[in-house]
Amino acid sequence: MVLVTSTCLDEAILKDVHIVKHSVEHHVKVILNKYKVQEKENFKKWLIKAVTLIDLTTLSGDDTRSNVTRLCVKAAKPLQEHGNKIKTAAVCVYPNRVYDAYETLKHMKLNNEINIASVATGFPSGLYPLCSRLQEISFAISKGANEIDVVLDRSLVLGGKWDMLYNEVLEMRNACGKAHLKVILGVGELGTYENVYMASMVSMLAGADFIKTSTGKEAVNATLPVGLVMCRAIQDYYQMKGRKVGLKPAGGIKTARDAVNWLVLVKSQLGDEWLTPKLFRIGASSLLGVIEKELES
């Protein structure tokens, strides 16, 4: 649990944030060209690493107990040829399906090895009263979730209401207790890279353990330029506060190359220390199947 003692946001931290869009996008291309993984065997090693960082997700309106059970079984043994040695970092479900995941993993004696994440706080819009959003966090935790993926009210970002945003995230942090707090920015709806940076910084100052790109429901989700901006915010926050915050891209990561590119980006900007489940996750539902096929080829 992260203890945040200040109930006031120092908005001076958010002054003079200027990000050149062309420069960010060019830098991403430079990084990928410099670190591009070409060799087939080495590429496969990166993919196996990626599997261990996945939050295996199902967030469909027709989710059932059996769907979640299958998800947990797959998370426990995602790659057949590696037996029980490889597991995904977490499963991620709706609050009403958390207990299904908890019971399944407990029965498999894996509830201490695979995290249970739940989306909460009016997913995917976040446009619900704060009291009900906080109740949703408490409900998910009571059913067995140890990670909560909350959704920012993007209207607060777009309106520049940073102090209100800070206080909302702070209340979510407190509601999470010992559970890890992942804050979903909804980057595709924030408008500018400056907003992405400032929303990242406010979330971390309020106690986020991870900052996450997207719900996966927006028209534009995780992109590498946005990832670079978020990495820079994580760097700046670490230099300022001495606390390491994780990154979770989610939505739009569909190919094996996409997954490896995200690992390359994080390695180049934050270092190998961030390439662990404690500090990096990939939110995905179909990616695992794509990686399996790539590894079999």
Say what the pLDDT of residue 80 is.
Answer: 83
Say what the pLDDT of residue 226 is.
Answer: 98
d(CA 46, CA 266): 13
Distance of CA 70 to the CA centre of its chain: 22
Percent of the chain past pLDDT 90, that is, above it, reads 88
d(CA 124, CA 218): 9
Q: Is the pLDDT of residue 25 over 80?
A: yes
Say what the pLDDT of residue 161 is.
Answer: 96
CATH of 16-296 given 3.50.90.10, 2.60.120.560, 3.30.70.600, 3.20.20.70: 3.20.20.70
Say what the pLDDT of residue 122 is.
Answer: 95
Q: Is residue 6 very low, low, confident or very high in pLDDT (cuts 50, 70, 90)?
A: low
Say what the pLDDT of residue 110 is.
Answer: 86
d(CA 87, CA 136): 28
Say what the pLDDT of residue 39 is.
Answer: 74
Say what the pLDDT of residue 146 is.
Answer: 98
Say what the pLDDT of residue 40 is.
Answer: 77
Q: What is the mean pLDDT of the chain?
A: 94
Say what the pLDDT of residue 2 is.
Answer: 64
pLDDT tens-digit profile of 144-159? 999 999 999 999 999 9
Say what the pLDDT of residue 214 is.
Answer: 97
pLDDT tens-digit profile of 236-261? 999 999 999 999 999 999 999 999 99
In the chain, which ranges are continuous DSSP H helix?
21-35, 40-51, 65-76, 98-107, 130-142, 154-158, 162-176, 193-205, 224-241, 256-270, 287-296
pTM to 2 decimal places: 0.95
Residues with a known catalytic role: 149, 212, 248
Question: 48: which strand partners?
Answer: none
Q: Is the dihedral of CA 191, 21, 232, 225 positive or negative?
A: positive
